[in-house]
Amino acid sequence: MTKHNLIIIGGGPGGYVAAIRAAQLGLDVACIELDKALGGTCLRVGCIPSKALLESSEQFSEIKGDLSSHGIVVDGVHLDLGAMLKNKDRVVRALTGGIDSLFKKNKITRYLGHGRITAPGKVTVSGSEGETELTADKIIIATGSVPATLPGIELDGDRIGTSTEALAYGEVPGHLVVIGAGAIGLEMATVWRRLGASVTILEYLDRILPGMDSAIATEALKIFKKQGLNFQLGCKVTGVKTDGKGCTVDIDGADSIHCDRVLVAVGRKPNTAELGLESVGIETDKRGFVPVDEHLATSAEGIYAVGDVIGGAMLAHKAEEEGVACVEGIVNGYGHVNYNTIPAIVYTAPEIASVGQTENELTEAGIAYRKGEFPFIANGRARAIGHTDGRVKILADKKTDRILGAHIIGPHAGDLITEAAVAMEFGASSEDLARCCHAHPTLAEAVKEASLAVDGRALHM
Ligand code: NAI
């Protein structure tokens, strides 16, 4: 039986960041991860590989598209999908290898295998070389999530798959059907559309991107349609099966669709399989999440949980914040996550980014607000780079002017949203943001102008 101060089960963004922070604070830390590569879904089959493919496919479609307005004429562009996928794999290898180095630097003990809690303070690691018994004062569960599916759909790990398969199709599908118009569905649809696939997105709701600002989602839908994505909204998929070399998707009250591949992107569910929660009396909630209190402590003494497995926004950076807060709480007695200032980003072109409350949420909560908006078409830098779609929207409390939310669709929205998140973290008013000098010419000037617009005094509109 090997003893550590802290055992972390799961080496994704929640787990590995918690491990590093705990080591910085002087704990003897063990991190158990099933996969050879550290980094979890995010680094191996999520955020990072998808961003590599989004970047490669965007470059391909820009170069293949019309660059004549820039005075550039390009002939003979063709796709080498194998090389594009290899580049993505290289990016993933470099980053997962980087976490190995961080573990070594911080003297974190890494166990390769499946971790299962067997009793308070006790965890068994099952790996290829048998079982190892570990013991610790504290345990953090950071086992993440796995793709959800729908009744009537049996994933075959090939033609009917999840984002994992969609990150590695060996050829561009002739016709790809994507079920679900959330972040994963839209990002992967964008990649394969740019590479030449015909793409149909089937969405149960009558809108895309549930949870995001509805006006911005409507604007995004228009832009995506122009990019050649086909949408069927308000559409209930009742089954998917493979037939010969393709698949058939059955839809309630509409014609079935025949296609080459199906990507199921209808959300993710917590990963608690074989975790031994029953051995310490932890009961999951109705949706399978591990309930925690404000200190990220579960109902079992000394056992904590962070990241996707506890629910809330299933985002890598939310898991990281929780990992740090949990460890600081354990060691220092205090740690905190401000859930109001966690940004969410969809990395399509244009990007869509959001932090804080939406107009719908403010209206439902009966909070009076003022709104300022500024379109990128009136921003000099956006004009110069030729990406003028979209706008910035700032929402501020009507009485106090405190910023309550920011929503952006447009070039580099994912980077721009950080300014609003930082401002909100410091309790800024829209006037505070508007009075900050923004360099010219930058896309960030659109954030300043939207803040000015809250008070009806945008300068360039
Ligand atoms: P999601 O929950 O964001 O979207 C799923 C979509 O599927 C929803 O629009 C839902 O209405 C739709 N849907 C559900 N049942 C359906 C049915 N029977 N037929 C048709 N449509 C149906 O889930 P997604 O995109 O799979 O992502 C999973 C998680 O990972 C989310 O929490 C997401 O925020 C996170 N993620 C975040 C990314 C980012 O921040 N860029 C990228 C990828 C994932």
Distance from Cα 204 to the centre of ligand 1, integer Å: 11
Asked whether 231 lines ligand 1 (CB < 6 A), one says no
What residue's CA is closest to ligand 1, atom 19? 204
Asked whether 312 lines ligand 1 (CB < 6 A), one says no
Asked whether 45 lines ligand 1 (CB < 6 A), one says no
Residue 152 CA: distances (Å) to CA of 149, 205, 251, 259, 260? 9, 19, 11, 17, 18
What residue's CA is closest to ligand 1, atom 23? 267
Per-residue confidence (pLDDT) for residue 154, from 0 to 100: 87
Beta strands at 130-141 and 122-127: parallel, antiparallel or unpaired: antiparallel
Instruction: Work out the angle between the directed axes of helices 316-332 and 13-24 (0-180°, nearest 10).
Output: 30
Task: Judge whether 295 counts as a catalytic residue.
Answer: no
Per-residue confidence (pLDDT) for residue 452, from 0 to 100: 98
Distance from Cα 63 to the centre of ligand 1, integer Å: 30
CA distance 122 to 213: 45
Q: Which of 50, 266, 289, 342 to mutate to test the pocket of ligand 1 (most atoms within 8 A of CB)?
A: 266
Give residues with Cβ within 8 angstroms of 94, minimum separation 6: none
Distance from Cα 267 to the centre of ligand 1, integer Å: 4
Residue 220 CA: distances (Å) to CA of 58, 224, 254, 423? 17, 6, 25, 25
What residue's CA is closest to ligand 1, atom 43? 184
Give residues with Cβ within 8 angstroms of 295, minimum separation 6: 304, 326, 329, 335
Residue 136 CA: distances (Å) to CA of 3, 122, 223? 6, 7, 53
Asked whether 236 lines ligand 1 (CB < 6 A), one says yes
Distance from Cα 185 to the centre of ligand 1, integer Å: 7
**Low-confidence stretches of the chain (pLDDT beneath 70):** none
Give residues with Cβ within 8 angstroms of 251, minimum separation 6: 202, 232, 235, 236, 237, 238, 257
Asked whether 152 lines ligand 1 (CB < 6 A), one says no
Asked whether 210 lines ligand 1 (CB < 6 A), one says yes
At 177, list the tokens: 């059907």
Each residue's pLDDT tens digit, 127-185: 998 999 999 999 999 999 999 999 989 899 999 999 999 999 999 999 999 999 999 99
At 322, list the tokens: 């929780």
DSSP 113-149: SEEEEEETTEEEEEETTEEEEEEEEEEEE---EEE--
3-class SS of residue 173 = coil
Per-residue confidence (pLDDT) for residue 352, from 0 to 100: 98
- Which residue out of 78, 114, 336, 440 is catalytically annotated? 440
Closest CA to 366 of 375, 357, 379, 355: 357
Asked whether 63 lines ligand 1 (CB < 6 A), one says no
* Spatial contact of 382 and 446, defined as CB atoms under 8 Å apart: yes
Distance from Cα 368 to the centre of ligand 1, integer Å: 30
Asked whether 266 lines ligand 1 (CB < 6 A), one says yes
